[in-house]
Chain A
Amino acid sequence: MPTANYGEKVMTLVFWLAAFLITAILAVIIGYIVVKGFSVLSLDFIFTPPSRAGKEGGISTTIVSTLYLVLGSLLIAVPVGVASAVYLEEYARKNSRFAYIVNLTAETLAGIPSIVFGLFGFVFFVIFLGWGWSILSGAMTMAIMILPTITRTSQEAILAVPREYRENSLALGASKWQTIRKIVLPSALPGIATGIILSIGRAVGETAALLLTAGSSLGMPMSITDPARTMAVHLYILAMEGISLERAFGTAFVIIVLILIINYAAHYGMRRLSALGR
């Protein structure tokens, strides 16, 4: 049947073209920003604070702000997220209503758009608790946003720990919590780390929610109650208000490089995790 063969050949071509198109889109986006951004980059750009609203100078304060916000949100989200995962996987009973609701809530949280988190952070942390536009408000908001990622990946990592590990530990007379702390969590560490790395990626790129909760002040934050402008927010303002396209490229370049590193690290972590499962 020559017609059928012809149709299948066309189909094969379409499949490969789709894959090629996806690759091309990625290459163009990253390539464009890397090429245009690289010429802007210098040590000065990274280590000097911006001046004249970002028209001149570097991006040092936004790098520091980003760092503070990422660290702050991890400080809150990691303990809570991992603890929840341990509870859900190791303590909650099969078919427990509570576990079902928590899981469902996590899914729902993961689907809420960042602008809605921003609105919540604004009305709750900034206004209601009176923390103002600050690193504290931003980090708390961000923490809620990354909580589902950390819990999900930790749950998976814990689930991948072989059952025999637990059995052997219990057989040696260890208690449940000892088993979890000394055996389960260390074995699940690569997976948990992957979740944390992915969360860092999300926090580095987050814009909408932080604009509404951490503010957009360009100064160097001195305490957690100071407002701060992250790199992502800086990029948005530079580009949207047409302040400096050149510096926008530089900022986008730094963000992209960070994301590439984070992605590679997460990929590496995932591989470790799947090796453990085997």
Chain B
Amino acid sequence: MANYPIVQNKEKARGNVFSAGGFYGRKTPVRGKELWVEKVLMLSASLFILAILLITLFIFAKGIPLIAKTGLTDFIFNTEWNPTKNKFGIGTMLVGSLAVTLGALLWAVPLGLITAIFMAEIAPVKVRDVLGSFIELLAGIPSVVYGFFGLIVVVPFIRDNLGGSGMSILAGAVILGIMILPTIINISRDAIRAVPEEYKINSLALGATHYQSIWRIIVPAARSGIITAVVLGMGRAIGETMAVVMVTGNATIIPDSILSPVRTMTSNIVLEMGYAAGDHQAALFATGTVLFVFIVLLNLIINISAKAGIKNAHR
């Protein structure tokens, strides 16, 4: 899922919300046909709202009854997933999703942040541009290709060098980390670049070195953007499916080490959707409901707080 360009455009796009459309004013001639055009365009834009409403409605309609029947806490925290016995608890998958995501963040955040600082503050222009296009490419590689690479390279490597089957949290964390690097790098780089130049000049004029200015002034000033980057990276990691399903082994157990296989919530859906029916299918939708609510909330918080941030900055 190569959606980094959306992410990259976010900063600018957000600004639009508050500067939309005022150019033509009320005096611009509006003839009969023109009004009709405006209505059609507005209708198109309304489709976004319709889409999100339909998605919410249909997923909830399929998922919530089963959650209600099982009980929310039981559904989320029970570790027994046994469709043939009508036992639907996604506890192991919740742990699986969190473990793989945490593992990915653990290495991708530091590496991504350092790369972002490098690109915004240190790299010569040419190096920066080349690295930038590499990162675009990294964002463009489909998740199924990452999964395939993980399956034939990372999994055997772990099996041969660390033991176990290789299908593990570790393999998932390695592959997922690579996949969220572009998100983390691009958003934090933009945030670092957006820090006013004066901060740096003032800091240098006080006798600080370039690195002191970076660590003590520039990075802290870009903090909220960097947090956004990490949270969005986390959202991507939790929602990722194909890459994870191919490398983590998909066992519904509570892992006891990073070499244990795990099944994530997303994997659960894609693995069983093909043959599930009745309550079993509803349970997969319920898994999707949990995932959906979690990620939409995450995104809403980020988007609304970022927009509030812009408002404050303009005050």
A and B touching (Cβ–Cβ under 8 A): yes
Do A202 and B239 touch (CB < 8 A)? no
Most buried by B among A21, A118, A120, A206: A120
Do B296 and A111 touch (CB < 8 A)? yes
Do B141 and A149 touch (CB < 8 A)? no
Do A176 and B44 touch (CB < 8 A)? no
Do B138 and A22 touch (CB < 8 A)? yes
Binding site for B on A (CB under 8 A): 4, 7-8, 11-12, 14-16, 18-19, 21-23, 25-26, 28-30, 32-33, 79-80, 83-84, 86-96, 98-120, 122-124, 128, 144, 147-149, 151-153, 155-156, 159, 163, 166, 170, 175-177, 195, 198, 201-202, 204-208, 211-212, 232-233, 235-236, 239-240, 245, 248, 252, 255-256, 259-260, 262-263, 266-267
A152 cross-chain contacts in B, Cβ below 8 A: 5-6, 9-10, 13
In whole Å, how far is B245's beta carbon from the nearest beta carbon of chain A?
A: 8
Interface residue? B162 (CB, 8 A): no
A105 cross-chain contacts in B, Cβ below 8 A: 48-49, 51-52
In whole Å, how far is A181's beta carbon from the nearest beta carbon of chain B?
A: 9
In whole Å, how far is B161's beta carbon from the nearest beta carbon of chain A?
A: 16
Do B239 and A112 touch (CB < 8 A)? yes
Cβ 8 A contact of A147, one of B1, B48, B136: B48
17 pairs from A and B in contact (CB 8 Å cutoff)? A18-B111, A22-B111, A29-B145, A83-B41, A84-B45, A87-B42, A93-B21, A96-B21, A109-B48, A110-B3, A112-B295, A122-B273, A123-B61, A156-B12, A198-B5, A208-B266, A259-B140
Do A205 and B2 touch (CB < 8 A)? yes
Do B142 and A120 touch (CB < 8 A)? no
User: Number of contacting residues on B, CB 8 A?
Assistant: 107
B299 cross-chain contacts in A, Cβ below 8 A: 107-108, 111
A256 cross-chain contacts in B, Cβ below 8 A: 141, 145
Interface residue? B131 (CB, 8 A): yes
Interface residue? B206 (CB, 8 A): no
A103 cross-chain contacts in B, Cβ below 8 A: 13-14, 16-17
Do B136 and A113 touch (CB < 8 A)? no
B194 cross-chain contacts in A, Cβ below 8 A: none
Interface residue? B222 (CB, 8 A): no
Interface residue? B188 (CB, 8 A): no
Do A18 and B3 touch (CB < 8 A)? no
Do A148 and B6 touch (CB < 8 A)? yes
Do A202 and B1 touch (CB < 8 A)? yes
Do B114 and A120 touch (CB < 8 A)? no
Do A116 and B211 touch (CB < 8 A)? no
Most buried by A among B119, B135, B242, B304: B242
Do B48 and A255 touch (CB < 8 A)? no
In whole Å, how far is B15's beta carbon from the nearest beta carbon of chain A?
A: 9
List residues 10-47 of chain B with CB under 8 A from any CB of chain A: 10, 12-14, 16-24, 28-31, 33-34, 37-38, 40-42, 44-47
B159 cross-chain contacts in A, Cβ below 8 A: none
In whole Å, how far is A178's beta carbon from the nearest beta carbon of chain B?
A: 9
Do A95 and B2 touch (CB < 8 A)? no
Interface residue? B77 (CB, 8 A): no
Interface residue? B158 (CB, 8 A): no
Do A123 and B285 touch (CB < 8 A)? yes
* Cα(A24)–Cα(B104), bound, Å: 18
B142 cross-chain contacts in A, Cβ below 8 A: 204-207, 232, 255, 259
A108 cross-chain contacts in B, Cβ below 8 A: 52, 296, 299-300, 303
With CB as the reference atom, state the residue of chain B lying closest to A216: B274
Cβ 8 A contact of B114, one of A14, A104, A144, A149: A14
> Contacts A105-B49, A156-B12 hold; do A114 and B149 have CB atoms under 8 A apart?
no
